[in-house]
Amino acid sequence: MGNFEKAHEFTSRWEGGRVGHVADSGGSAHDGVSPTALKGQEDQGDIDEDGDLEGDFDADDSAFTPEGGRRRMRRRFWDALGLDDVKPLCAVVVYDTAVNMGADCACRLVQKALGLRADGVWGPVTLAALRTCSDRKTAVAVCHLRRARYHELVNGNGSLKPFLDGWLRRVDSLEKTVEADNG
């Protein structure tokens, strides 16, 4: 199993199925992908001539397929961040963080974990640091920073409190996955 498949297997356990919560600013999602988030991807062939998301969604996204979500998530997060060129544990953590918190937030957390200026620019400096870092140590550090960010989010916006326990369970599971990896 390749690195993307391992990362997506973990993430899909947390993103699978159809979800929606009134307090979630991201709107409803199915298998980790929301129609709202994908509206900007018309140029990538995801929107058909009727304005619906290509083949996998109808107007209310009830026909979305896990395979379509996997393809879109790979393109939107894994490929866009160049995670094939990142050490495996960091790649899993960065992917899951980007899917859950957004690529900008993932980038800033990674930069903080690496001791870089957290400017949110995913470029050659960040990628070079990821190629030479301690894979396990950096992956765990991102998990710790992610926990802190969840608490900051809830402290700044009480309407997010219903999500905190689930977010923390997810990052705890991610950290255990990293620590248990013998690769």
Q: Has this prediction a pTM greater than 0.85?
A: no
Spatial contact of 27 and 34, defined as CB atoms under 8 Å apart: yes
The per-residue pLDDT for range 43-54, each reduced to its tens digit, is: 444 434 444 444
Domains of the chain: 3-180 (1.20.141.10)
What does the block give as tokens for 15? 């993103």
The per-residue pLDDT for range 119-152, each reduced to its tens digit, is: 999 999 999 999 999 999 999 999 999 999 999 9
Other Cβ atoms less than 10 A from the Cβ of 119: the count is 12
Instruction: Give 44's Cβ-side CA count (13 Å radius).
Output: 13
